[in-house]
């Protein structure tokens, strides 16, 4: 089968219908579909609809509970702690982020942790929700053990992303969204689906040495063998790998240890051959810049900084300097007009679910 192209609205509709057939609520299915399709629209294909299988199979295996709602465990005017009750990560993430936003609108800051959750898609989705309210949004999550600590052989940490979004006036909002590993797991899955080798320095095999085989790395981390993805900065300390290791650990402390959720190697769906709730943890913060300065002044200063970056002297052979989020916004515009391209394996997977659940999917080509 060849690659396919599909309109964003058709892809969203299919994924939502599929999730509802898996007993996810209408609202929950909306947030799953919106999160995954938005990732594809922004060019973050590693966190797009290629992940549908993760949710369908997680529900089938029982470690994702499809029909529960998040529950507030404790809160005050600025803090909150939410139990996702082993439900789907996206609705739990939206619940937590929106709770932080509401508190920031009232008190200038809101900080909410979520525990007992599952994979919540791409982190920027939640940080960007704060932009609608002229707030700064921060979103962190821990994840299953895929990353090898500096000088270690076994994967202990997750790819543990960090996302921060800040509003502007005339420029696109600043949206930083990055894994604390060299690459996220989804990037390895993309390379594996396409039959491509990964660059040296991305991951290690069971001996702790660099490998270019994405399937080998994914198999090793799936079955608990040694090896895994390297922290941001790469192997050892020469290029700052220990800093990526520290950032990943920071995310795990705030998302897992602080929230009361699982952390490190306990975030796995299968333990000792038995199904296990991963119990992922999330951390959300919203800040009101108007507390510190006039909102228009803050947004203008953000524009000034972005303009400065755009106009600074470029390295030889480089035609443009980007700030975080710009490439994604431009890709969003392009794919909204021309459709979302899906590689053959992702398209085949969706077609298979279309047959299993008797839900039609409509490609452009």
pTM metric for this prediction? 0.94
Across the chain, what does the average pLDDT equal?
95
Mention every residue, 6+ apart, whose C-beta is less than 8 A from residue 288: 104, 105, 108, 109, 134, 135, 136
pLDDT band at 365 (very low <50, low <70, confident <90, very high): low
Averaged over 315-341, what is the pLDDT?
97
Query: Which residues, 6 or more positions from 6, have their beta carbon under 8 angstroms from its beta carbon?
Result: 339, 340, 342, 361, 362, 363, 364
Contact, 142 vs 251, CB < 8 A?
A: yes
Examine the pLDDT at 222 and tell me if it is beyond 80.
no
What pLDDT was estimated at residue 200? 86
CATH superfamily assigned to domain 183-229: Hypothetical oxidoreductase yiak; domain 3 (3.30.60.50)
Give the model's confidence band at 261: pLDDT under 50 very low, under 70 low, under 90 confident, else very high.
very high
Q: What is the pLDDT of residue 208?
A: 85
Domain segments of the chain as ranges: 1-61+330-365, 68-178+238-294, 183-229
With H, G, I as helix, E, B as strand and everything else as coil, classify residue 61: helix
Average pLDDT over residues 316-332: 97
- Model confidence at 269: pLDDT above 90: no
Give the pLDDT confidence of 46-79 residue by residue, as tens digits. Answer: 999 999 999 999 999 999 999 999 999 999 999 9
Beta strands in 96-173 (DSSP E): 109-117, 136-141, 162-166
Query: Using one digit for the tens of pLDDT, what is the confidence trace for 144-187?
Result: 999 999 999 999 999 999 999 999 999 999 999 999 999 988 88
Cα separation of 318 and 320, whole Å?
6
Mean pLDDT across 273-294: 95
Cα–Cα distances in angstroms (integers) from residue 66 to residues 117, 152, 192, in the given order = 11, 36, 29
Provide the CATH number for the domain formed by 1-61+330-365 in this structure. Answer: 1.10.1530.10
The dotted CATH code for 68-178+238-294 is: 3.30.1370.60
271 pLDDT band (50/70/90 cuts)? Answer: confident
- Residue closest to 224 by CA, chosen among 142, 280, 146: 146
Selection from 239, 250, 234, 284 nearest residue 157 by Cα: 250
Q: Using CA atoms of 186, 188, 190, 191 in order, give the dihedral in degrees to the nearest 10.
A: 170
- Rounded to whole angstroms, the Cα distance separating 365 from 361 reads 12
Cα separation, 359 vs 31, whole angstroms? 19
Confidence of residue 221 (pLDDT cuts 50, 70, 90): confident
The mean pLDDT of 198-212, rounded to a whole number, is: 90
């Amino acid at each position: 089968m060849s690659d396919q192209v599909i309109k964003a609205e058709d892809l969203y509709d299919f994924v939502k219908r599929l999730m509802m057939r898996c007993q996810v609520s209408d609202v929950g299915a909306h947030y799953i579909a919106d999160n995954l399709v938005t990732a594809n629209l922004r060019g973050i294909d590693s966190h797009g609809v290629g992940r549908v299988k993760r949710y369908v199979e997680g529900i089938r295996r029982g470690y994702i509970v499809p029909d529960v709602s998040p529950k507030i465990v404790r809160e005050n005017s600025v803090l909150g702690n939410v139990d996702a009750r082993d439900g789907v990560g996206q609705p739990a993430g939206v619940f937590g982020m929106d709770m932080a936003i509401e508190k920031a609108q009232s008190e200038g800051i809101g900080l909410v942790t979520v525990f007992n959750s599952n994979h919540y898609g791409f982190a920027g989705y939640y940080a960007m929700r704060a932009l609608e309210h002229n707030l700064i949004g921060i979103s962190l999550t821990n994840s299953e053990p895929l990353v090898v600590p500096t000088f270690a052989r076994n994967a202990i940490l997750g790819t543990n992303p960090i996302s921060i979004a800040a509003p502007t006036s005339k420029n696109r909002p600043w949206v930083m969204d990055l894994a604390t590993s060299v690459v996220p797991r989804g990037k390895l899955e993309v390379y594996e689906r396409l039959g491509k080798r990964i660059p040296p320095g991305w991951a290690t095999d069971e001996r702790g040495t660099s490998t270019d085989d994405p399937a080998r790395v994914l198999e090793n981390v799936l079955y608990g063998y040694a090896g895994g993805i390297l922290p941001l900065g790469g192997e050892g300390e020469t290029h700052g790998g220990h800093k990526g290791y520290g950032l990943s650990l920071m995310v795990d402390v705030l998302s897992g240890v602080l929230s009361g959720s699982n952390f490190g190697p306990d975030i796995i769906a299968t333990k000792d051959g038995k199904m296990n709730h991963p119990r992922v943890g999330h951390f959300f913060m919203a800040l009101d810049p108007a507390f510190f300065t006039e909102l228009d002044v803050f947004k203008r200063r953000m524009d000034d900084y972005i303009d400065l970056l755009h106009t600074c002297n470029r390295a030889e052979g480089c035609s443009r300097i980007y700030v975080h989020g710009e490439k994604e916004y431009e890709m969003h515009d392009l794919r909204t007009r021309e459709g979302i391209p899906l590689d053959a394996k992702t398209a085949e997977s969706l077609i298979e679910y279309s047959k299993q659940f008797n839900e039609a999917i409509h490609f452009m080509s």
